[in-house]
Amino acid sequence: MSDDAPRYWTPAYIERFVEALNGDEEFQNTASSFSKTVELRCLDTPDGEDVSATYTFEEGRVVDVDLWIDDAPSEEMREEPVDKDTVMARATASYEVWTKMDQGEMGATEALASPDYKIEGSMMQIMSNMGVFRGMNKVAANVEKTY
């Protein structure tokens, strides 16, 4: 691992994650018809922050990322209702849970069943796009990073 590998859930990591998603041929094949917005929220990062990253996809490519970082616990972020008109799915978990998923210690099915992982949105749309979400997890796991 190189010395310049960003730490997981930092802006530098998110930037590399987006580059990896847009450059990963397997993910692009899986997500080619995916044109939705997905919000991922990480609570209690090692920097003492809550982070929300909202990814807008057009035909599988990330075309916009809206990043919101606030001191943890961010009441404003944690209590904000999901905007179901804009966001297809919102997943919220602690840094510890995201790290377990990233390292393959917890799968998507396990996460969905965990009280420590919350997903909001249309379950029908979420389930019909599980290939995209699994692909995102796979790409994320392969981005060079530190924890």
- Per-residue pLDDT tens digits of the chain, which is 147 residues long: 556 899 999 999 999 999 999 999 999 999 999 999 999 999 999 999 999 999 999 999 999 999 999 999 999 999 999 999 999 999 999 999 999 999 999 987 788 889 999 999 999 999 999 999 999 999 999 999 999
At residue 111, the pLDDT reads 85
Return the number of other C-beta atoms located less than 10 Å from residue 59's C-beta.
11
Q: Which structural domains are found in the chain, ordered by start?
A: 11-135 (3.30.1050.10)
pTM: 0.94
DSSP the chain: --TTPPBTTSHHHHHHHHHHHHH-HHHHHHHTT---EEEEEEES-TTSEEEEEEEEEETTEEEEEEEEEEESS-HHHHHPPP-TTT-SEEEEEEHHHHHHHHTTSS-HHHHHH-TTEEEEE-HHHHHHTHHHHHHHHHHHHHS--B-
Sheet strands side by side (includes 89-94): 61-71, 49-58, 37-43, 89-94, 117-121
